[in-house]
Structures are given as C-alpha cells and as structure tokens.
Structure 1
Amino acid sequence: MFLDDLYHMLDPVAFSLGPLTVRWYGIAYLLGFICAGIVMWRTQRRWKLGLSVDDVFSIVIGVVFGIIIGARLFYVIFYIWGAGLSLSSPLEIFATWEGGMSFHGGLVGAVIGGSLVCRHYGISIPTICDLGVIGAPLGLFFGRCANFVNGELWGKETDLPWGVMFETGGGVYRHPSQLYEAVLEGLVIFAVLYVMSRRVPPRPQGTFMGTFLALYGVFRFLVEFVRVPDAQLGYLFGPITMGQLLSLPLVILGVVVLVGAHRLARPQTGYVDG
C-alpha cells in the first residue's frame, strides 16, 4: 500500500547537526510562514495597495508570534484544562516542543498579532486579514503533512486501500486523516481563494476572510468524523468532538462576514488615515 509504505519510510527528524535536531514539523511552520508572506506580497502588488516589503515582513512576524502563543494557549485551555487535566508546572504552558497546538487558537492569535502591527503602521486591518488568509492554507498544508510524518492525529480504522498502519495506532489500518485535511484545508481552500484574488479590482474587504472561515469550518467538521479525537477528551456529545465544536462557530462567523462584506462593499486598501 503506497501511503503505508511512504509513512514508514519517513523520519520525523529532518536532520541533526551535533546537539541540534531539526524536525519536519518545525520546517513545515517555517515554509508556511514564508509562503504566506510571499502570497501576501504578490497579491497586494497585484491589487496595487502600495505596501512595502518591510510592512509585509513586519506583519508576518506579528502573525508568527500570535499563532504560536494563541495556538498553544487554546490547546492548554480547551484540550488540557477542558479535559479536567492539569499541568505539572506553569512553565509547561510554553512547552510547544512537546506538541499540542490548536488551529483555532492560532487563528485568533494571528488576527491579534497582525492587527497590532497594522495599527502601529497605519495599515488596513480588514485588508491584511484578507491577504493573510489567502496564503494561510499553504501553511495548513505543510503542517498537516508534518502531522502525517509524525504519525499523530490519525483517523479511525478503515479497510480502504490507502489505509495506513501508524506506529501508535494499535496495529490496524487507519484513515490518513492528516492528508485529508492537508488536501481540503490546504490545497482546496488555497486554490479557491487564489482564483478569487486574481480579479482586479479586488473583491470587497472581508470576502476572503469570510470564505476562508466558512470553508475551513466545513472541511474540519467533516474530517472529524473519520479522525480519532484527542484521547484525553474523547467525544463530547454523541459523535461530536472538540474540533467540531470549535469549528461550527467558524462557519457561522464566516457566513456573517461574507454577508457583511457584500452589504458594505468596502474596497481593499493599504494604508488608512489616522
């Protein structure tokens, strides 16, 4: 089986240099940020927003810090404390190298981190949100591929020909749900938003953010049906998982943002007055 053979050929460690160990997960984060920054820069140039390279770089740095902090905090709050568990030490909140990052928290952190930089430089926050989510799916793609390499977040048992027997999966073939998410949350959403972004003049502020939120929420909700929930949480309400519970508000919010974008019809802009 191709995917099963591929998984067992992969090593979570990309390379080591003395005491330094570089994992594919870290490389995935780096590639995601670089690709998102490139997409933001090229898109704003096509939209003729007039942002500088330094502006885009500063925003990406703010988003990076926001994602790391938000993703970790949400994981601790909803997936550790939410399961009635406790940390061995308060410093464990910052132990990102031990795993445990929440997309939903990363999204909130990215918006806050990017917004703080935008306010400092007088850049339109709604437009930057739209630019950011066009490139964000590429980061999701690399991240989910890294989850597959790490053999984590795997799916339920399956007899489908592309099932994978993960080392920690109990000796049975399972859905490679990480790759399902990589394709849907990553490649499909990116393709949709990229095609939408080709139109000049660009679509109104909020169009891309609303589309991203709605599509991600739907895709994540559906994939959760074949993905095994976190062991410490299990299922919350019947077949509903924490991932689905956190994704439903994204769908609703995405639709609300899309409706508002259509009604307000505010043009995309770079710098704002004041």
Structure 2
Amino acid sequence: MPPMLALPFPVIDPVLLQIGPFAIRWYALAYVAGLIGGWWYARRLAAAEPLWGGRPRPSPEVLDDLLVWAALGVVLGGRIFYVLFYNLPFFIQNPGEIVAVWHGGMSFHGGLFGCALALIVLARRRNLPVLSLADVAAAVAPIGLMLGRVANFINSELWGRVSDAPWAIVFPNGGPLPRHPSQLYESFLEGVVLLVLLAFAIRAGALRRAGLVSGMFGIGYGVARIVSEFFREPDPQLGFLWGGLTMGMLLSVPVILVGAALVLAALRRPAVETPA
C-alpha cells in the first residue's frame, strides 16, 4: 500500500483530440508548440540588433527555414540515438518499429546531434556563420525541453525512482509505490531555469561572443540532466550501468565537454562592440 502522503496521479488523457483515426496527442503538441515558440523567440532575438554588437545574425527568412530543418534534425536524430543507445536488441528483432515514432522512444542527445548537423548544413547553404545560428537555437531550445517533459508527465512515462517525499506520485503504470515526478524536475531545470539563465546572459552581452550562448547551453543542459538522472528511474531495458551511472548521464558528459570548449573559445575572443 502506498503511504498516505503519496499524491494521486492527475490523470490526463494523452490524446487531446480524436477525430476518427486521427488523434492529436499532447506529446506531439508539445513538439509543435516548442518549435513554434522557439521560432517566435528566435525572431525576436535576431531582430534585436544591439544584442549582437555587429555580429552576423540570421535573417527572418533563415529562421523560417531553421524551423523546418531543426524539426527534421530533432526527430531523425532523436529516433536514431534511441534505437542505437537505448533499445538496439529490440529494434534488431523488430525493424519495422524503428519508424513507429508514435509508439514513443526519443533521445534528446540524439535530437541535439541531429539539430546541430541541420544547423551546419543550413548555415553553409546560406553563407552564415554556424555559431550565429547555433547561438539562437541554443537560446530557444529550453522552451521545447520544458514542454516536452510536461508531455512526458501527462503520458505517465519516464517517471522517477521510488520516493517517500510528500510530493511523490503513484503513476498508473509505475507500480503501487510513489515515485519522484522527475519529468517535472527536468522541465524546471532543463527548461525554466536554463531559459532564464540564458536570457540573462544574452542581456549581459553573451551574443556578442560567438559560441558563448551555445556553450552555456551545453554545460547547463548537461549538468541539469545529470542532476535529474539521480531522481529518474533508468530505462528498464538498460537499468543502471557502471557504478550506478545511467545512459542519460553518460551521454551528457560529452555535451558538457563540448559546451565548455565553446565557452573557453568564446571568452578568448574579444567581444564585438556596436559601432558608434
């Protein structure tokens, strides 16, 4: 029996709207809202010329293309990484499930890698510095992270470890014991906190140093994800790895290292100053 202090799960139908065979799910809606919200915020950042100090910045047309390219990179990269790193034996036996993204199974680290490749290709096609696009994308990425983790909570998936905390929740498919609502922890740390920190850094002139915002995002996301993994139940097909580590922790280490390299390189460059 769960303890009296355990909170009941606020049951929300994962399907927002069903019209015949066509269903609009909260998870898909979170992706769409994250992309559109990020696109809107990116246009505002790119339009604020004083924030850039004369650095090349993407035009509204480039940001319109970025919306499509980023969506493809996130979906393809997220799915490929999930297949390779999280459940490869299952997909070898069931190759038809690889394309069944509606059954769930995405990796943020893969989405980040796919989005980075899309940024590089788009920047070269438009003769724009890669870091100009990357800094904008990094500044707006927490919006999608925040909404995506809330959708995970609604779907009652990726729940946390067993806990006796007074705010622990009994998830309908997580067994009878209360668990950390780790999806909401991640939504707050990777979404709200990171979005606010990057916004303050941008106001302080971070966009005037190429790669600084991208590097700060990498460090911030990696640290937030590792902290959240201490409360999140590992994927059942993987469990704990060496020394109690999880796959999410391991994949976050290179993200932090790349972010640190970008920050160090950015700080070695002089900040671009707006001409008088």
Q: TM-score, normalised by structure 2?
A: 0.90
Q: Aligned pair 1:74/2:84, yes or no?
A: no
Measured after TM superposition, the shift of residue 236 of structure 1 is 0.8
Measured after TM superposition, the shift of residue 185 of structure 1 is 0.2
- Whole-angstrom CA distance in 1 between matches of 2:69 and 2:118: 5
Q: 1:178-231 deviations in whole A, cap 9, x for unaligned?
A: 000000000000001111122458330111111000011111111111111000
Q: Contact 1:130–1:206 at 8 Å: present in 2 too?
A: yes
Q: Aligned pair 1:156/2:129, yes or no?
A: no
In the alignment, which residue of structure 2 is the partner of 1:236?
241
The aligned length equals 266
Q: What root-mean-square deviation, in Å, do the aligned CA atoms of Structure 1 and Structure 2 show? A: 2.1
- Whole-angstrom CA distance in 2 between matches of 1:4 and 1:226: 17
Q: 2:146 aligns with which of 138, 141, 147?
A: 141
Q: 2:44 aligns with which of 33, 36, 42?
A: 42
Secondary structure, counterpart of 1:238 in structure 2: helix
Measured after TM superposition, the shift of residue 53 of structure 1 is 2.4
In the alignment, which residue of structure 2 is the partner of 1:99?
104
Query: What percent identity do the matched residue pairs reach?
Result: 38
Q: 1:11-58 deviations in whole A, cap 9, x for unaligned?
A: 111111222111100000001001111111100111365643221110
Q: 1:23 aligns with which of 5, 22, 25?
A: 25
Q: Contact 2:6–2:170 at 8 Å: present in 1 too?
A: no
In the alignment, which residue of structure 2 is the partner of 1:63?
70
- Whole-angstrom CA distance in 2 between matches of 1:104 and 1:251: 12
Q: Contact 1:47–1:202 at 8 Å: present in 2 too?
A: no
Q: Contact 1:60–1:114 at 8 Å: present in 2 too?
A: no
In the alignment, which residue of structure 2 is the partner of 1:272?
none
Q: Contact 2:206–2:213 at 8 Å: present in 1 too?
A: no
- Whole-angstrom CA distance in 1 between matches of 2:16 and 2:91: 32
Long gaps (5+) in structure 2:
51-55
Q: State the AA in 2 paired with 1:239.
A: G
Q: 1:126 aligns with which of 128, 131, 152?
A: 131
Q: Contact 1:47–1:200 at 8 Å: present in 2 too?
A: no
Q: Aligned pair 1:250/2:252, yes or no?
A: no
Q: 1:158-184 deviations in whole A, cap 9, x for unaligned?
A: 111111100111111100000000000
1:56/1:155 Cα in 2 relative to 1: closer, same or farther (>3 Å)?
same
Q: Contact 2:169–2:178 at 8 Å: present in 1 too?
A: yes
- Whole-angstrom CA distance in 1 between matches of 2:11 and 2:86: 31
Secondary structure, counterpart of 1:15 in structure 2: strand
Secondary structure, counterpart of 1:147 in structure 2: helix
Measured after TM superposition, the shift of residue 267 of structure 1 is 4.4
- Whole-angstrom CA distance in 2 between matches of 1:92 and 1:47: 46
